[in-house]
Amino acid sequence: MKTEIVENGNQVVAKFIGRLDTPAAVQTAEDVKPLLEAANKEIILDCTELEYISSSGLRIFLSIRKEAAAHGSKVIVRNINADIRQVFMMTGFVSLFEIQ
């Protein structure tokens, strides 16, 4: 599991590559800290190469969403696969994020 963060003007893009399972979530939580510092910008969670996400990963998504909301900015989840979309449906995350 890899996390790449790229700042691009008013946007911060976090690209998740691989399986965001429980063991991976520990590292990922560290990796996304710059995102939380740039929470005044628009945050894009690029899930194009995210294969899998468990509740630990969802918790990271939720904490990012909370931080952004506190700064009045929004979080966009981009390119989630069918399985992850299903998980977003099941957890009600579809209504918390703008999904592109």
Partner 1 sequence: MIVAGLALEAISCTMYFTSRAAIRHEAQKRAETELRKAELEIELHTIELETAAKTLALIAERHVDCPDSIYMATDLAVRTMREHTSVAVAYVPDYFMEKGRYFEVCSSRITEDSVHTRQIGSDSHDYTEMEWFQNGFVHDSCWWCEPYMDDSGSEEPVVSCSYPVHNGKGEVVAVVCVDMALGYLQRKLPEYLKVYKNSFYSIRSSKGGDIVRAMDTVPGRKYNTFNEEIDATGWHIEIIIPEDEMFADLNRVGRIVGILMLIGLVLLALMLVHSSRTTQKLIESTARNQRMENELYVAGAIQTAMLPKVFPPFRDVLNVNVYGTVKPAKEVGGDLYDFYVRHDKLFFCIGDVSGKGVPASLVMAMTRSLFRSITSHDEDAASVMGKMNKAFVEQNTQNMFLTLFIGILDCRTGMLEYCNAGHNAPISIQQSAVSIQPLPVMANLPLGVEGEWVFQAQQMQLAYDDVLFLYTDGLTEAERSTHEQFGEERMMKELAISDYRLGSPRQIVERMQASVETFVDGAEQSDDLTMMAIRYQHPALIMRNDIEQIPTLAEWIDSIGVPEELSMPINLALEEIVTNVMLYAYPGKSGQVLVECNKAVSDQPSAIRLIFTITDSGIPFDPTKKEEVDTTLSAEERPIGGLGIHLVRQIMDEVSYERVEDKNVLTLVKNV
Q: Which residues would be at the binding site for partner 1 (CB under 8 A)?
A: 19, 21-23, 26, 52-56, 58-59, 62-63, 65-66, 69, 83, 86-87, 90-92, 95-96
Distance between start and end Cα atoms, the chain: 22
Number of CB atoms found within 10 A of residue 3's CB:
22
The burial of 64, by beta-carbon neighbours within 10 Å (0-12 exposed, 13-18 middle, 19 or more buried), is given as buried
Contact call for residues 61 and 45 (beta carbons, < 8 A): yes
Q: How far is the CB of 5 from partner 1 (least distance, A)?
A: 21
Q: What's the closest the beta carbon of residue 60 comes to partner 1, in angstroms?
A: 9
CB 46 to partner 1: min, Å: 19
Among residues 38 and 84, whose Cβ is nearest to partner 1?
Answer: 84
- Cβ proximity to partner 1, 8 vs 27, nearer residue: 27
Q: How far apart are CA 94 and CA 17, in angstroms?
A: 21
- Judged by CB, which is closer to partner 1: 44, or 53? 53
